[in-house]
């Protein structure tokens, strides 16, 4: 899989994370790195998700920067010229996903320059970086989870204002308009992030619609098809130092976990 790693710079740590991180990052700037297949949707980021069951590391990429992701993700990165020493993982500390929740981060290219880290039940530790940036206009999983969090802020131990950013129209399709994910969640009668089966179907449809029939309604490539704009948005982010290519070497992953 060819992902884009989105660099979401930490603006302010949650209280719990601040305690654990203090004095351990050697003055480096710290970024959560979210793996996405949809760089063209980054204009509509409203938050970022971490898994509540997942352990994350803070990894030194070089003297100036450190990245938050799973150990597995960091290890893959060391073979892709993303860290300055090839094949070597330099973990500064380990931290539970739950402790990162509430951290304020930058969301590159989003209409909301700063957003919050929120919890998601279904983040897979075995995919990408374990950090997922959230685009509720175009990702049914993100929309369903955001609605859960708004309905039950106390249960999820979040402050309501962290989940208050409204979905933003990013691209338009003939069938679903400019709010593809909310439309699909409604159509498939998805109640919550726990409706895994319907969400998988919704995701499939949203991918196809967006990619084959979508037109950008925001940003530098507004008016262009998603097929044209995808690589252009990605290149623009990469050239500004806001993102990097991150590949998931499937053969390698399988051989290491077996
Ligand atoms: C932003 C985004 C916007 C995404 C969208 C999707 C959509 P796939 O196809 O199954 O490989 N993701 C990334 N890592 C994880 C993880 N560890 N656990 C759970 N979800 C993860 O899925 C790749 C997409 O799943 C990624 O692209 C990321 O969310 C999420 F409008 O980033 B995406 C219709 C989907 N729309």
pLDDT tens, position by position, 57-75: 999 999 999 999 999 999 9
Give the 3-state secondary structure of 81-130.
CCCCCCCCCCEEEEEEHHHHCCCEEECCCCCCCEEEEEEECCCCCCCCCC
Query: Which residues, judged by CB distance below 6 Å to any ligand atom, belong to the binding site of ligand 1?
Result: 1, 35-38, 41, 123-124, 127-128, 130, 132-133, 135, 138-139, 203, 206-207
Tell me the pLDDT band of 250, cut-offs 50, 70 and 90: confident
- Alpha carbon nearest to ligand 1 atom 2, residue: 38
Instruction: Indicate whether 242 pLDDT > 50.
Output: yes
* Residue 255: other Cβ atoms inside 10 A: 9
Task: Give the pLDDT score at 256.
Answer: 46
Mean pLDDT of the chain: 96
The residues with which 96 forms a beta bridge, in sequence order, are 55
Task: Give the pLDDT score at 251.
Answer: 58
Task: Give the pLDDT score at 1.
Answer: 85
pTM given for the model: 0.96
Dihedral (C-alpha) 230, 179, 161, 159: value to the nearest 10 degrees? -90
Task: Give the pLDDT score at 178.
Answer: 98
Query: Which of 32, 36, 203 is the best mutation target for the ligand 1 pocket, counting ligand atoms within 8 Å of the beta carbon and taking the most?
Result: 36
What is the per-residue DSSP string for 171-210? EEBTTTBT-HHHHHHHHTT--STT-HHHHHHHHHHHHHHH
Q: By three-state DSSP, how is residue 49 classified? A: strand
The structural domains of the chain, with segments of one domain joined by +, span 2-257
Task: Give the pLDDT score at 257.
Answer: 45
Select the CATH number that applies to the domain covering 2-257 from these four: 3.30.1150.10, 3.40.50.1970, 3.90.740.10, 3.90.110.10: 3.90.740.10
- Average of per-residue pLDDT across 160-169: 98
pLDDT tens, position by position, 191-230: 999 999 999 999 999 999 999 999 999 999 999 999 999 9
- Average of per-residue pLDDT across 32-55: 98
Task: Give the pLDDT score at 255.
Answer: 45
């Amino acid at each position: 899989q060819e992902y884009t790693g989105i660099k979401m710079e930490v603006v302010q740590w949650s209280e719990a994370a601040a305690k654990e991180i203090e004095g351990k990052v050697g003055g480096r700037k710290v970024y959560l790195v979210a793996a996405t297949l949809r760089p063209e949707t980054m204009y509509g980021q409203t938050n970022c998700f971490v898994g509540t069951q997942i352990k994350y590391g803070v990894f030194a990429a070089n003297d100036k920067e450190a990245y938050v992701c799973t150990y597995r993700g960091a290890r893959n990165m060391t073979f892709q010229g993303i860290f300055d020493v090839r094949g070597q993982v330099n973990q500064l500390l380990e931290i539970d996903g739950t402790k990162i929740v509430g951290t304020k981060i930058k969301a590159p290219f989003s209409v909301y320059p700063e957003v919050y880290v929120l919890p998601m039940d279904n983040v897979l530790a075995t995919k990408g970086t374990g950090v997922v940036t959230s685009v509720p206009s175009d990702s049914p999983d993100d929309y369903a989870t955001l609605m859960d969090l708004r309905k039950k802020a106390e249960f999820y131990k979040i402050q309501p204002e962290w989940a208050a950013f409204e979905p933003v129209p990013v691209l338009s399709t003939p069938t679903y308009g400019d709010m593809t994910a909310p439309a699909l969640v409604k159509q498939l009668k998805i109640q919550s992030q726990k409706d895994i089966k319907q969400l998988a179907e919704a995701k499939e449809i949203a991918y196809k619609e967006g990619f084959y029939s979508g037109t950008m309604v925001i940003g530098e490539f507004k008016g262009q098809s998603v097929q044209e704009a995808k690589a252009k948005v990605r290149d623009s982010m990469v050239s500004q130092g806001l993102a990097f290519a991150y590949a998931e070497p499937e053969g390698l992953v399988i051989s290491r976990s077996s």
